[in-house]
Structure 1
Amino acid sequence: MRGAEVRKTPLVYSPTFSRMTGSEVYLKLEHRQKTGSFKIRGAHYKIMTLPDNEKKKGVVAASAGNHAQGVAFAASAEGIPCTIVMPKTASPAKVAATRGYGANVILEGSSYEESWNKAREIAAETGACIIHAFDDPQVIAAQGVIGLEILEELPDVDEVYIPVGGGGLAAGVLVAIKEKHPGVRVVGVQSSRFPAMKESLDRGSTAPSGGGTTIADGISVRSPGELTFAIIRELIDEIVLVDDSEIIGAMFLLMERSKSVVEPSGAATLAHILSNPRPGKKVVAVLAGGNVDMYLLGQIVDKGLAQTGRLLKVFILLPDKPGALKEVVDEITSANANIVEVVHDRFSSEINAGSAGVTLSLETQGAGAADGLVRHLRDRGIIFRLVT
């Protein structure tokens, strides 16, 4: 593989998000990078710099998906054996893509940490070189090129927002930016479910933190790296948290307004900017990856429509007789709402004999129109329950 395989990704100004926040918002499109994320940068550089005798033994890595694909692609291009350990909860799309790049994929554990332990066992048994997802000097250095690219195109940037899991991307970008422009504010963004780096900084030392479920699997890391922690502790201006609902909103807007499919971890930066605008500032959101599961993508669209008031679900209990549903449909139509789905239920235990439960999915023109529809139905004496 030659260095040309790693792309210099675009940095684009977003009029839409700038208008929404009062800032000048620029998007660093790492989701358009080879293999769909910034991870190829570190994996490529690390593997290219391995001595030939180590390459012959192959490489092994642990990853929830993006690092896996980067390592698999780089190893395949170099013609060396590659084993990737992924959590059993990893996105099926990312597992399939990693195998598609020629790697031997082993599903082990329910978290990155458990997969990492398995990768270490394999390395000890086979002599393969471990390509760490974030806690490696060469990986960190390669990710830092993103910071240099941002400064090259936008030297007067005020703030840069970076997603943080184990901290490799943040550490690299921090070193690159602070070395050249120490006045630029660099902010790390973590999932509120996995705030390991933030809590480690608060304590002054690394320790496991977080857990549960989040759609942002790429930054679901319970223990930050030692190298990355040391760099981030010295250079970071702030680490902030976002929740899944904020990420969903950002992903939805990126699809609709920017025509960009960005995975949850990659959209975390924009999610924070949209929820915490910085008027008058020139800000960059690093959109770190675009490898999103298609099933999840469908859910994001539905939830995004619901968040913006453009999708309303109501449950109505009707007498099971001809014309009952038509009366409701006529009232919905008169309020300029569109029915996109109708689900009947006559058999659930809470549905009395002689009745039918109907769940209607309704498309409206926005939150104001949705509120107007709800008032209209109530004014007409229709008894219903909001599902969303």
Structure 2
Amino acid sequence: MTGSDTSLTLQHVLDAAKRIEGAVVRTPTLHSQTLSKILGAQIWLKFENHQFTAAYKERGALNALLLLSEEQRRRGVIAASAGNHSQGLSYHGTRLGVPVTIVMPRTTPTVKVMQTESVGGKVVLEGETFDDAYAHARKLEAELGLTFVHPFDDPNVAAGQGTVALEMFADAPEIETIVVPIGGGGLISGMGTVAKAQDKPVEVIGAEARLYPSSYNAWAGADLPKGGDTLAEGIAVKEPGKFTQKVIDRVVDDILLVEERHLEEAVSLLLQIEKTVVEGAGAAGLAAILAHRERFEGKKIGLVLCGGNIDTRLLANVLLRDLARSGRLARLQITLQDRPGALFRVMREFDAHNVNILEIYHQRIFTNLPAKGLVTDIECEARDREQLDALVKALTDKGYEVSQVETN
């Protein structure tokens, strides 16, 4: 196929599977008993975060590399990427002896820059968004005579990504719905093509970050705003691919938008329940189910955990925020009278309710209270929301003014 083709068929994906066989990990598709119970649906997970580069992207990158001419291989390739495509292209390009240059936005997480360089890619940081990086990569392509390998808007790349679905349906043929993250549309184009070619066509649902509803806008004829900081930076694309959007229009049944809090909850759940690290984009499918449980109740669903490259500091922040939302961590602001024993009496309530105190902050100077007033912030750890609520009620009943610092 060439970049101008508008077709993508099951045969294209089958050919890609033969081409890349043995050079990428055949990741497992496993049934999750716990998630199935929580969500009221049967959930299968495809662990693409187990790839060598921790993302499915190397499938499409390798397929595209193997279709290059000898002259193109010799001169090298270039791409613009938020990270995972760059790692896949760099890894397999280096393995095949093809020079790889990657242009990334300056906002790309450090972990993705370092991992791309560690597998042989030459990284150029340019611009604040993917679109800025893309424009610069196209400029370098012309100046240096390189071959551009698009992260999603390329039939050969999309065909490679579709091999995820071939393996998923081979391992779990009972799946009747797949929920697939959408950024530029390469993954859902490939997987959707395979899904609709099954003996009994499978429902194809896209999951897109609400802050970047580019594919949803094109699919639904909407004009929702795009932009902002999203946990799912891997699918933060302002414009969908021209080729992939045509495929999406043909094979996708619905596109659901997910809020940041559901992305955070999904990342946290996957780590706690499945003991697997997934980045925000990789958790978008689960986030869509968390946000629309009634839409999926009772269904047999396949989710692809398409990437696991998340900055460790960001992951820690996500986990702590999720603990705060669930009531297991809290920051209580308590107004006291500045009297001997005032703080001690408050501490006794924490002890009585078996709530662990982590940090205590006194505010004597920078406060709106009178000079003899006192505000104490107490960070604490409870068993669950009920235990925390019982403590707050006890403090309130004893005349203390208590407020809780909430997370979004």
User: Offset at 1:364?
Assistant: 1.3
What secondary structure is seen at the aligned counterpart in 1 of 2:53? helix
**Pairing partner for 2:118 from 100, 124, 132:** 100
Are 1:64 and 2:64 matched, yes or no? no
Aligned to 1:4: 22
Structure 1: 5+ residue stretches without partners: none
Closer, same or farther in 2 for the Cα pair 1:2/1:21, shift >3 Å? closer
Closer, same or farther in 2 for the Cα pair 1:279/1:354, shift >3 Å? same
Structure 1 window deviating more from structure 2 (133-142 vs 250-259): it is: 250-259
Closer, same or farther in 2 for the Cα pair 1:351/1:93, shift >3 Å? farther
**Pairing partner for 1:284 from 275, 281, 302:** 302
Task: Write out per-residue CA displacement over residues 171-207 of structure 1, whole angstroms, 9 at most, x where no aligned residue.
Answer: 0001112112452101000001111111101229xx9
Aligned partners of 2:42 and 2:300 also within 8 Å: yes
User: Offset at 1:321?
Assistant: 5.8
Alignment of 1:259-270 (within 5 A): 259-270=275-286
Aligned to 2:162: 144
User: Offset at 1:40?
Assistant: 0.9
Closer, same or farther in 2 for the Cα pair 1:244/1:118, shift >3 Å? same
Closer, same or farther in 2 for the Cα pair 1:353/1:75, shift >3 Å? farther
Structure 1 window deviating more from structure 2 (339-348 vs 374-383): it is: 339-348
Closer, same or farther in 2 for the Cα pair 1:208/1:221, shift >3 Å? farther
Aligned-partner Cα distance in 1 for 2:241–2:385:
43
Are 1:339 and 2:357 matched, yes or no? yes
Aligned partners of 1:9 and 1:29 also within 8 Å: yes
Aligned-partner Cα distance in 2 for 1:2–1:289:
19
What secondary structure is seen at the aligned counterpart in 2 of 1:35? coil
Structure 2: 5+ residue stretches without partners: 1-18
Aligned to 1:177: 195
Aligned to 1:110: 128
Alignment of 1:118-129 (within 5 A): 118-129=136-147
Closer, same or farther in 2 for the Cα pair 1:102/1:345, shift >3 Å? farther
What secondary structure is seen at the aligned counterpart in 2 of 1:5? coil
TM-score scaled to structure 1, two decimals?
A: 0.94
**Pairing partner for 1:14 from 32, 36, 40:** 32
Are 1:374 and 2:377 matched, yes or no? no
The residue type paired with residue 387 of structure 2 is A
User: Offset at 1:275?
Assistant: 2.8
Closer, same or farther in 2 for the Cα pair 1:96/1:208, shift >3 Å? farther
Aligned to 2:246: 230
User: Offset at 1:317?
Assistant: 3.6
Closer, same or farther in 2 for the Cα pair 1:79/1:323, shift >3 Å? farther
Task: Write out per-residue CA displacement over residues 50-88 of structure 1, whole angstroms, 9 at most, x where no aligned residue.
Answer: 111111111111111111111111122122222111111
Structure 1 window deviating more from structure 2 (342-351 vs 152-161): it is: 342-351
Give the root-mean-square deviation of aligned CA atoms.
1.9
Task: Write out per-residue CA displacement over residues 292-347 of structure 1, whole angstroms, 9 at most, x where no aligned residue.
Answer: 11111111111110121211111224455653322211111111211122233444
Aligned-partner Cα distance in 1 for 2:154–2:225:
21
The residue type paired with residue 23 of structure 2 is E
Q: How many pairs were matched up?
A: 386
Are 1:154 and 2:154 matched, yes or no? no
Aligned-partner Cα distance in 2 for 1:168–1:342:
49
The residue type paired with residue 263 of structure 2 is I
Aligned to 2:228: 212
User: Offset at 1:49?
Assistant: 2.1
Task: Write out per-residue CA displacement over residues 92-116 of structure 1, whole angstroms, 9 at most, x where no aligned residue.
Answer: 1111111222222111111111110
Aligned-partner Cα distance in 1 for 2:20–2:154:
21
TM-score scaled to structure 2, two decimals?
A: 0.90
Aligned partners of 1:17 and 1:274 also within 8 Å: no
Closer, same or farther in 2 for the Cα pair 1:47/1:308, shift >3 Å? same
What secondary structure is seen at the aligned counterpart in 2 of 1:8? coil
What secondary structure is seen at the aligned counterpart in 2 of 1:341? strand
Aligned-partner Cα distance in 2 for 1:3–1:345:
63
Aligned-partner Cα distance in 2 for 1:347–1:90:
40
What secondary structure is seen at the aligned counterpart in 2 of 1:74? helix
What secondary structure is seen at the aligned counterpart in 1 of 2:197? helix
User: Offset at 1:272?
Assistant: 1.4
Aligned to 2:258: 242
Closer, same or farther in 2 for the Cα pair 1:306/1:127, shift >3 Å? same
What secondary structure is seen at the aligned counterpart in 1 of 2:298? coil
Task: Write out per-residue CA displacement over residues 204-227 of structure 1, whole angstroms, 9 at most, x where no aligned residue.
Answer: 9xx996112211101100100011
**Pairing partner for 1:295 from 305, 313, 317:** 313
The residue type paired with residue 235 of structure 1 is V
